[in-house]
Structure 1
Amino acid sequence: MKLKNSILGDKVYQKLIQKIFLQCLMIVLVAIVLVIIIRSAGRGYIGNKITEVICAITGADWERASDLYFGYIRSQIDTVMMITCIIFFIILFRFSLSWFTKYFDEIVSGVDQLVREDKNRIIMSPELNFMESKLNQVKEELAKRAEAKEEAEKRKNDLVVYLAHDIKTPLTSVIGYLSLMDEIMDMPIAQKAKYVHITLEKAYRLEKLINEFFEITRYNLESIPLNKERIDLYYMFVQIADEAYPALVASNKKVKIHASENLTIFADSEKLARVFNNILKNAISYSPPNSIIDVYGEIQESNAIIRFENPGVIPKEKIGVIFEKFYRLDYARSSATGGAGLGLAIAKDIIKLHGGSIEAICEEGKIIFKITLPNIKDFFTNS
């Protein structure tokens, strides 16, 4: 794997490495050529000048200075030439650093474009194609995330507006019926009972809408820590079915559990119950009357597989987006199915936090939510 990455890295940086190599090679060749030119053009003249310097420093005559020149300098001409070549190389390399720094300038400029959220495509030298490609990928990904965030925020704002509008309706009814009962003290018992029943229904609706407000806020603000423990999955299925009993009775629906009574798993019971409740609510809302909702649970190899199945259809183009925040299958809000569109998004986040996966499948007239969770052994290993 490391060898493969190394090969890929060499291919990615090939143009840049080749350019730097050629520049360094050119600097060395130029330094050597300069030294050769200086040595050839200055033969004799340079020797005479060095001899004059020796005369001035030592006070020796010309002949003595020439002996010193030939004995200590001329005889070491190869070493002198090498040192001179190195000096030229260092000088030339210093000036050539501007060639290299332009690459850093381009990278900094590209990063600045990301920070400024400049919509123009980042363009760099051919040698930096790999960096240009990466930065443009990041740019596109950031743009997609910003767009998704903006869309989610818009959906959220729309839902808040819808909720605020919807709250006024049951609240007005509650106030109206209570006012009538307060004003008409001798109202017939049957009529008063009818008004109390209607008022209670509207109050429940009002409570549901207020809970949706809390759900929206809580989803954005709370971090979700896990408190994992061994839980009885079969008992949890029974419990959520019991909690949903009023909604099931109201639409003549039933829940059938297909799982061993000894089925257990290591997870956060509170968070997992929230997942199952959200999926069951979804099944109740979007399945036809008099239908049966089947809940399956089993252990397959190292995973626990859980399925919720109910009659119904989800359009293919919507299967991939039903787990998005604030997404609802029916955008028209109604008393029966109006929700914040957070239930499945929360369910997905909790399952991912457990190291599992959740998917929606629509086949043969059934909507299936399949949850895969790591078994106990994996949870102990990763915890």
Structure 2
Amino acid sequence: MKNEFSKLKRKIILQITLILLLTLLVGFFIYYVLIDGVLQAPFADMFISFCENVLHLDFYSSQNIYSSLFRRNKSLWLAIGFILLLLIIFYVALSRFTRYFNEISEGVDLLTEESETEIHLPSELEFMEKKLKTVKSKLEKRAKDAKEAEQRKNDLVVYLAHDIKTPLTSVIGYLSLLDEASDMPLEQKEKYLKITLEKATRLEQLINEFFEITRFNLQTILLDKETINLNYMLLQMADEFYPLLAPYGKQAIVNVEESLKINADAIKIARVFNNILKNAIAYSDENSIIEIRAFSNDENTIITFTNKGKAIPPHKLDMIFEKFYRLDSSRTSHTGGAGLGLAIAKEIVHAHGGSIFAESNDENTVFTVTIPTHS
């Protein structure tokens, strides 16, 4: 900041120095030219003539007044001249400062008004202009991201509302058939009950997603940290996902030291791994392996989830961690979630002081979570 103001400071000092030099020149002009120089006689004659013609004084009285006022008070008049010039300097310098503040204020107004007008400041305030433009750019990006997130949220709610109607209609339809046909064969009843249960379960999932959308912006992440055996947690999670992996010939393999531990909120960090693993399962190739690795150094514990599948485009690698963003917009809510899983994972990891990011190429996609070792 000190270096940024140096250009402005130099210009103001230069301006004040020039005005001071001008003041000295004017002062010397008054003293050596007007009072005690080449213009002394004409000035004296003009003053005496004024006293004679306007004030109706005689020549000697006018001459005495001139001598009393000017000849005997040269230093006083010189001091008065310098004081007046110094006041002018102060006024000019203050005007310059005021102009700088006004221009900065106008730039801030453009920010608050979200105006499309470009911010322009004097060259000596170039550093401030850059800062204001940076803030404006960030605010515009945030506004754009918020608008896009809100649109994605609204679209998702519409999709979910439509999808809720489908299983609900099926539940009502099959229950109506069971109610109306009391003599229905037992085998057919069991079939209808099984379908009804599946539709009701799907309906519960959709309702849970609605709650997830509602809670996301209202939830404050509070951590209850404890020592966690990372190997045990990840093995248990891989086992829990077996029913989702097996039908597609997929496997989740955990390569983590048995003694590796982290200090974190067990429930919330498990949710992070859960969301990443679900994403890996959803977008990995059939008959492929999802590899989970972890290691620790002095500063961080790094956990990676690697799966083989279609590459994520580079411009979407950051967007997948935004709320309500779904990588494949063609996936319906039946096959994809509310687009909150990775966004929530990011919030939880950041609350732990860590980071989360993704890398992807034609061979595999890797999600990396970093948690401070001594958090």
TM-score, scaled to structure 1 = 0.82
> How many Å separate the matches in 2 of 1:279 and 1:85?
79
Mapped to 2, the partners of 1:170 and 1:138 lie a distance apart of: 48
Percent sequence identity is 51
1:332-361 alpha-carbon deviations (Å, 9 max, x no partner): 233652211111111122112212222222
- Letter matched to residue 351 of structure 1: V
Deviation at 1:364, TM superposition (A): 5.7
Three-state SS of the structure 1 residue aligned to 2:217 is: helix
Give 1:282's aligned residue.
Answer: 279
1:93 equivalent in structure 2: 89
1:250-261 matches, within 5 Å, as 250-261=247-258
Structure 2 equivalent of residue 323 of structure 1: 321
Are the counterparts in 2 of residues 279 and 344 from structure 1 also a CA contact under 8 Å? yes
Say whether 1:9 aligns with 2:7.
Answer: no
When residues 144 and 104 of structure 1 are mapped into structure 2, their CA distance, relative to the original with a 3 A threshold, is same
Q: Which residue number in structure 2 is paired with residue 354 of structure 1?
A: 352
1:144 maps to 2:137: no
Using the alignment, how far apart are the partners of 2:122 and 2:302 within structure 1?
52
Q: Distance in 2 between matches of 1:334 and 1:233?
A: 34
1:139-161 CA distances to partner (integer Å, 9 max, x unpaired)? 12211111111111111111111
**Aligned residue for 1:374?**
372
Matched, 1:243 2:236: no
Q: CA-to-partner distance for each residue in 1:207-259, whole Å, 9 max, x for gaps?
A: 11111111112211111122221111112112322332332344343322211
Match of 1:57 in 2: none
User: How far apart, CA to CA, are the structure 1 residues paired with 2:192 and 2:153?
Assistant: 34
User: What CA distance in whole angstroms lies between the structure 1 residues aligned with 2:360 and 2:208?
Assistant: 30
- Mapped to 2, the partners of 1:220 and 1:285 lie a distance apart of 25
Structure 2 partner of 1:186: 183
**In 1, Cα distance between equivalents of 2:13 and 2:340:** 57
Tell me what 1:196 maps to: 193
Find the counterpart in structure 2 of residue 293 from structure 1: 290
User: Which amino acid in the other structure matches residue 157 of structure 2?
Assistant: V
1:29 pairs, out of 14, 18, 21, with: 21
Which amino acid letter does the alignment assign opposite residue 98 of structure 1? S
Alpha-carbon deviations, 1:66-102, whole Å to 9, x = none? 8xx97xx77xx4xx57744651243212431223311
Letter in 2 for 1:288: D
Q: What is the identity, as a one-letter code, of the residue corresponding to 2:271? A: R
- Residue-by-residue CA offset, 1:22-51 (whole Å, 9 max, x unaligned): 32123212332333233232348999x9xx
Q: Is the 8 A contact 1:361 1:369 kept in 2?
A: yes
Whole-Å Cα distance in 1 between the matches of residues 333 and 177 of structure 2? 24
Contact 1:322 / 1:329 at 8 angstroms: preserved in 2? yes
Q: Is the 8 A contact 1:32 1:85 kept in 2?
A: no
- Relative to structure 2, which stretch is displaced further, 297-306 or 36-45? 36-45
Task: Give the deviation of 1:260 after TM superposition.
Answer: 1.9
Q: Which amino acid in structure 2 is aligned with residue 360 of structure 1?
A: A
SS of aligned partner of 1:149: helix
After the TM superposition, which of the residue ranges 210-219 and 20-29 deviates more from structure 2?
Answer: 20-29
One-letter amino acid of the counterpart of residue 35, structure 1 = G
TM-score using structure 2 length: 0.84
Q: 1:319 to 1:94 in 2, by over 3 A?
A: closer
Structure 2 residue aligned with 1:343: 341
On the 8 A contact 2:312/2:361 being kept in 1, the answer is no
User: In structure 1, what residue type is equivalent to 2:217?
Assistant: N
SS of residue matched to 1:169: helix
5+ residue gaps, structure 2: 48-63
Conservation of the 8 A alpha-carbon contact between 1:351 and 1:358: yes
Q: Which of 7, 29, 42 is the equivalent residue of 2:35?
A: 42
2:27–2:82 CA contact under 8 A, matched in 1: no
Whether the 8 Å CA contact 1:106–1:124 is kept in 2: the answer is yes
Distance 1:368 1:239, change over 3 A: same
Secondary structure at the aligned position of 1:322 is classed as: helix
